[in-house]
Structure 1
Amino acid sequence: MHALLQTVIARLMKMLTRRGVLVEDMGQTYLAEPDADGEEARTLRPLQAAAITYRIAFGPRAGQKVLTLRGAMPREDSARQPLCADIDGFSLHAAVRVEAHDRKRLEQLCRYITRPALSDERVQVNAAGQVELKLKTPWRDGTTHLVLSPLEFMQRLAALVPRPRLHLIRFHGVLAPNAKLRSLVVPQGPEVEERATAAVAASECVVQTETNPDRPDRPHRIAWARLLKRVFDIDMQHCPNCGAGELKIIAAILERPVIEKILTHLGLDPQPPPRGRAREARQD
C-alpha cells in the first residue's frame, strides 16, 4: 500500500506541475502564482490554499489559523487499519470494497460519495454571531468544533466550488477516453449500427473514392426530447394515445393570458403551485 501511494503521489505531483498548478525549483515544490490563470482561478485558488492549511484567506484575520474548541481528551494513534496508508498528508484507504452483486453496499458507497459537504445539524450560530461547526469525529488533539465568522465560513464554502469548465467525473479502465477497448464496451446507438451496415453494403458494390474521416460517428449532444424520455420517462416524440404517431412543435405560447385561457378550458388550474419553503435545520 505504501509503494502504491508513493506512485500515486509522484504521478499527481507531476500532473499538477505539468498543468502549472505547482512549480518545482531547487528541489522544492510550491504553488504557482495565480496571475497566470483566468479570473476564476485567481479568485478561488487563494481560498482553496487557505482551506487545506486551515487558515483564513481574507478579512481582518487573514493568514491566521481557524479558531477551534477542544472538548475531548487527545486520543492516541490507533493501530493502522489493514489496506490503509498515510504518507505526508496523502492517505490511501482501500479497506472498503463492494462485492460484484452486493447492491446494498454499492448503494451505501454511492451515498457516501455523493454526500453534501456539511450537515445542517452540525452548523449553528452562537451568541456572538459566529458560526460553530461541530466535527463528526473529534480530531486527535481533542478538537470538537471549528469557530468562524460568517465571512470566514463563506470563504470555506467557496473553496468547495469547482472552477468552471472543470470535469468532475473521471473514467478509468476500459471506460477511459483513450482506452483501446472503449469502443467495444460503450454502446454506439442504432444510428451508428445502421450507418456501419450501410457502409459495408456500399463497399461491396462500389469503391468509395472520397472519405470524410472528420465526420463523427454520433452526435455530441442529445436532444431534449430524448433526455426527457431517458430521465423522466416522458415521451415527447410520439402520441400518448396511439403511441405510433409522431409529435411536432406547432407553436410556442409565451403570453400569460393565452396560457391561462387554455389551461382553464382544459379544466386545469392556471395558477402554478406555491413554492415550498426551504427546510429548516431542525425540521423533520
Structure 2
Amino acid sequence: MYVTRSAFESPVFLPADPLTSAEVERVHGDAIERIRRVLKRYSLDPIALGLPLRKGDDPPWEYADAGADEQPLLDFGDARDDAFFPALKAASVKSLVPFGPGAGQPLKRLIDPDLGLAFQSSGWGSQYVPPPLVVNADGFSLHAATLIRKGQRAQLEKLCRYVTRPAISLERFEVRPDGMVSWLLRKAWRDGTKGFVMTPYQFMARLAALAPHPREHQLTYQGVLAPASSLRDQVVPRPVVRKEPKDVDVADEDGSKSAGEPSKDQRTIRWADLLKRVFSEDVLKRRAAAGVGT
C-alpha cells in the first residue's frame, strides 16, 4: 500500500503483511453478503441469478412482481424495454435454454458415465481441500495466492494475459455434422459432464450474454491507481521523452533485439514486437525471407 506522511511528501510504498486463509475467507463472505443486499435492494432474486438458497432467505416468488422500473441494475440501454438481454444473461449463468420451445430447460450435456463413476469411487469431491489463500464456495471464488514482486516482468505479463483472456476459447467449440454446436469444458465436472450441446441460435444467445454493458469498463483500478486519485500522478511513472526514431533492425537469430521491450528512448513497443508477442511469429524475419524490404 502507499502511505503519505504529509501533504508535501510523495507517497511511499510499504508492503502489507502476508495474507492468511482466514482473511481471504472473511473477504469472500463479506463480498457475498454485500452482493445479496444489493440484489434485494433492487428487488432482484438472488436465487434466480444463481446464488444458492440459504437459511433465512426470502422465497423466490416474493420478487416475481418487481417491475422493470424497479430494477435499475437491469438497465441495458435499448434492450431494457423488453428485458430480453437480462433473460439471456440469467439463462447463460444457469446453463438453461434461453428461448424457444424448451425455454427454461437445461442445455443438453455431453456426459461420460465412466468418468463420473471414477470421480465417485475416488471420493475426490469429499477429499478436495482448496490451496491456501483460495476460497470457492456459494457460487463465488476468490483467489489471492498470486504474488508478483518487483522486476518479475515475465510473471506480470502472464498475469495480464490471464486477466485479459477472451471469454471463450474457439478450440473448445465444434459444429457437429447434424448442425448442433458442441462446447467442451476445460475440465470435466464431477458428474462426468464434459460439455454442452446447443443449437446455433442457443449458441448465439450465449455469445450475446457475454457482451458487456454499454459504456462499462471491463478493467477498473482502485486506490491510488484510480483515475480520480489525487496521488495517481505521483505513483505512476512519468512518460519517457521519445527521441527521433532510428532505423528498424531485423531481429537477431536469438531474438535479442525483438524481445518486445521498449528501449530507453522509446515509450511504446514496436508493432512487429507486439505481433510477435501475440502470435509468436516474427514478421520481420518473414519479410526478409520473402525479399521484402523492412
After TM superposition, the score normalised by the length of structure 2 is 0.57
User: 2: CA distance between counterparts of 1:171 and 1:14?
Assistant: 24
* Aligned Cα root-mean-square deviation (Å): 3.2
Q: CA deviation at 1:109?
A: 1.2
Q: CA deviation at 1:186?
A: 5.4
Kindly tell me the number of residue pairs found equivalent between the two proteins: 193
| 1:105-254 paired onto structure 2 within 5 Å | 105-177=155-227, 179=229, 181-182=231-232, 184-185=234-235
Which residue of 105, 111, 115 maps to 1:70? Answer: 111
User: 2: CA distance between counterparts of 1:230 and 1:45?
Assistant: 42
Tell me the alpha carbon deviations over residues 51-101 of structure 1, each in whole angstroms, 9 at most, x when there is no partner.
111111111210000111112513222222111112311111122332222
Flag the structure with larger Rg.
1
Match of 2:253 in 1: none
After TM superposition, the score normalised by the length of structure 1 is 0.59
Distance 1:21 1:44, change over 3 A: farther
Q: CA deviation at 1:127?
A: 2.2
Distance 1:21 1:164, change over 3 A: farther
User: 2: CA distance between counterparts of 1:34 and 1:230?
Assistant: 52
Structure 1: tracts of 5 or more residues without a match: 190-228, 235-284
Q: CA deviation at 1:169?
A: 2.0
Match of 1:12 in 2: 35
Which residue of 117, 129, 133 maps to 1:83? Answer: 133
Q: What fraction of aligned residue pairs are identical, expressed as a percent?
A: 39
Q: CA deviation at 1:35?
A: 2.6
Residues 22 and 29 in structure 1, CA contact (< 8 A), matched pair in contact too: no
User: 1: CA distance between counterparts of 2:219 and 2:198?
Assistant: 31
User: 2: CA distance between counterparts of 1:21 and 1:187?
Assistant: 45
Tell me the alpha carbon deviations over residues 144-201 of structure 1, each in whole angstroms, 9 at most, x when there is no partner.
1210011111111110001212222211121225545345435899xxxxxxxxxxxx
Residues 131 and 149 in structure 1, CA contact (< 8 A), matched pair in contact too: yes
Alignment partner of 1:22 is 2:71: no
Match of 1:279 in 2: none
User: 1: CA distance between counterparts of 2:206 and 2:198?
Assistant: 9
- Secondary structure in structure 2 of the residue aligned to 1:73: helix
User: 1: CA distance between counterparts of 2:183 and 2:67?
Assistant: 30
Match of 2:99 in 1: 58
Structure 2: tracts of 5 or more residues without a match: 1-23, 47-55, 70-74, 240-265, 272-294
